[in-house]
Amino acid sequence: MTFTQHKSQKNANTDFDAVIIGAGFSGLYMLYRLREAGFSVQAYDAAPDVGGVWYANRYPGAKCDSESIIYNYMFSEELYQEWTWSSRYPEQAEILSYLNYVADKFDLRRDIQFNTRMRAAHYDEVNNRWRLQTEDGTHITATYFITGVGNLSSSNIPKFKGLDSFEGDWYHTGHWPHEKVDFKGKRVGVIGTGSSGIQSIPVIAEEAGHLFVFQRTPGYCTPARNHAYDPEFIRQTKANYSEIKRQTRESATGYLHKLIHDRSALADSPEERQREYQKVWDRGGFGLGTTYNDLIINPTANETVAEFIRSKIGETVKDPKTAELLKPTYYFAAKRPVLDTNYYETYNRDNVTLVDVKSAPITEITPKGIKTTEEEYALDILVFATGYDAMTGPLFKIDIRGKDGISLKEKWAGGPQTRTYLGIANAGFPNMFMITGPESPSSLSNVPVSIEQHVEWIGDCLEYLREHGITTIEAKAEAEEAWSAHCREVADATLYTKTDSWYTGANIEGKPRGFLIYVGGVGAYRKICDEVAAKGYEGFSLTPTSAKETIS
């Protein structure tokens, strides 16, 4: 398949109804939705083309953990029928091809300015306009400012002493070069064993002379069992378009799998539990967490599934010391679990060594490699699979300022939590919307489902404002307080908040701890947002064009 090659074009116009930041899943659909509704709209992206994180994440083995048939847009049945995924889990290149296809089909690039990083977005209260500035100094104005910057797009490169002195090549998984990195015969170090590390380690190991994996915290992995799609399965899936769309939108997490047994894991005998976990394990994919209804809320129930996975690690990894190091001890799923292909088996290779940097932390990067408190490892290539400053990081890359010049960073400083209304809007930041912002289901859901819900809600909202002659919409402080408190309350009833992870901000030094995701369920959240809209945007202040009076 070939796609139109596009040169980045600078739009001479600099005044719009809406400006969107980002040309990934969020930005592309938001652009389409608003353009269809007749708004003048322009998207900006720092990358040279569409794709967002799927443009940047090109590391070996990069793929999505959501099944292909639901990791796509559902807003256009025509698009759903036209596009055919090749296998159960989509690889980065295929997702990028898909987003290129979408951009071509809907002719989106004509309203996207690439190679353009937005430096600042300031709300001008006197004129009720957003004033934006790109890094090259261009000034842009818009009524509405919409962020589609992704939740995992701001790389975390730990500040190790001596990185500048490293004489080999180093890469972060989230900003991988376009040309192939040659690992052949090289001594390679991978720091990090989250999704990116776990996906790339087996692939790099195949090629490297020797691979050293520097692990601080092991992951819980379940087999992906990826396979090519059968044409009959594709035919049935396409025939079920409406039902798939409904189910994912009403589900708890945006996936098709449902709770398997609506009872406690502790209600079954150990033998019954083993059988149930084994069935899910054999099917592959996410699903273990949905075997029983209390796995993410009850520590004792959680331990049963955690121990099941540990036993699988023990059975797979031949060296007992390595197997022990690979066994996680925190609550299963409280930190993002990972789907793997040959991950544990990789540790049976002679050219792979697991280095425990929990007990012997990395002290510095030297010209020749990595030094821990115990040993120095000579390396030719260093791979940082060290994750992201999640949720808030991508927003903080832009100097976003609302009323009285207060920045979003200042507003959210001091923790313990971001403060948003529905994860979409912020008090003090009129006419600004965040797609999959903090305190929405975002990263704890099949993200395209959450993106579509936000885009459609924002699109409907802007149409409502236009129809009603309203020029300013702003979340009320009390509505925001109540939403943040609700988010905390729901999260505190789970094990998510009892474990350090990027969900809580704990992976970034100095970041305030909170819980940045709404875990009340994708379907339940949709209902809340729809009710807010149905009640004339309850919790927002709306200011009409002519009157200075505010409708509350």
Q: Where along the sequence are the contacts to ligand NA7 (CB under 6 A)?
A: 152, 158, 173, 191-197, 214, 216-217, 336, 357, 362, 385-388, 443, 502, 507
3-state secondary structure of 324: helix
Judged by beta carbon, residue 59 or residue 281, the one nearer ligand NA7 is 59
Say if residues 454 and 440 touch (Cβ distance below 8 Å): yes
Q: Closest approach of Cβ 537 to ligand NA7, in Å?
A: 31
Judged by beta carbon, residue 140 or residue 317, the one nearer ligand NA7 is 317
Q: Take residue 379 and report the two structure tokens written for it.
A: 């390396």
3-state secondary structure of 90: coil
Judged by beta carbon, residue 129 or residue 172, the one nearer ligand NA7 is 172
Q: Closest approach of Cβ 80 to ligand NA7, in Å?
A: 24
Judged by beta carbon, residue 121 or residue 357, the one nearer ligand NA7 is 357
Number of CB atoms found within 10 A of residue 228's CB: 10
Q: Closest approach of Cβ 381 to ligand NA7, in Å?
A: 17
Say if residues 365 and 151 touch (Cβ distance below 8 Å): no
Judged by beta carbon, residue 158 or residue 544, the one nearer ligand NA7 is 158
Judged by beta carbon, residue 32 or residue 503, the one nearer ligand NA7 is 503
Judged by beta carbon, residue 443 or residue 497, the one nearer ligand NA7 is 443
Q: Which of 224, 237, 227, 232 is nearest to 285 (CA)?
A: 224
Q: Closest approach of Cβ 379 to ligand NA7, in Å?
A: 15
Judged by beta carbon, residue 196 or residue 484, the one nearer ligand NA7 is 196
Query: Which residue lies nearest ligand NA7, judged by its C-beta?
Result: 194
> What's the chain's length in residues?
552
DSSP 390-419: -TTHHHHTSEEE-GGG-BHHHHHTT-S---
Q: Residue 174: is it exposed, middle or buried by C-beta count within 10 angstroms (0-12/13-18/19+)?
A: buried
Task: Give the relative orientation of helices 231-239 and 241-250 as an angle to the nearest 10 degrees.
Answer: 70
Judged by beta carbon, residue 193 or residue 497, the one nearer ligand NA7 is 193
User: Is it true that the peptide bond before 416 is cis, omega within 30 degrees of 0?
Assistant: yes
Judged by beta carbon, residue 362 or residue 517, the one nearer ligand NA7 is 362
Q: Which of 138, 128, 136 is nearest to 17 (CA)?
A: 128
Judged by beta carbon, residue 88 or residue 336, the one nearer ligand NA7 is 336
Judged by beta carbon, residue 174 or residue 539, the one nearer ligand NA7 is 174
Say if residues 352 and 211 touch (Cβ distance below 8 Å): yes
> Looking at beta carbons, which pairs linking 505-512 to residues 24 or more positions away fall under 8 Å?
505/390, 505/391, 505/392, 505/415, 507/156, 507/387, 507/390, 508/156, 508/389, 508/393, 509/158, 509/159, 511/389, 511/392, 512/412, 512/413, 512/414, 512/415, 512/416, 512/417
Q: Closest approach of Cβ 142 to ligand NA7, in Å?
A: 30
> Residues 6 or more apart from 136 whose CB is under 8 A from it?
116
Say if residues 231 and 424 touch (Cβ distance below 8 Å): no
Tell me how far apart the terminal alpha carbons of the chain are, to the nearest angstrom.
Answer: 52
Q: Closest approach of Cβ 452 to ligand NA7, in Å?
A: 18
3-state secondary structure of 551: strand
Q: Closest approach of Cβ 508 to ligand NA7, in Å?
A: 9
Q: Closest approach of Cβ 333 to ligand NA7, in Å?
A: 12
Q: Closest approach of Cβ 160 to ligand NA7, in Å?
A: 7
Q: Which of 195, 187, 193, 192 is nearest to 211 (CA)?
A: 187
Q: Closest approach of Cβ 375 to ligand NA7, in Å?
A: 15
Q: Closest approach of Cβ 313 to ligand NA7, in Å?
A: 16
CA 421 from centroid of its chain's CA atoms: 20
Q: Closest approach of Cβ 26 to ligand NA7, in Å?
A: 15
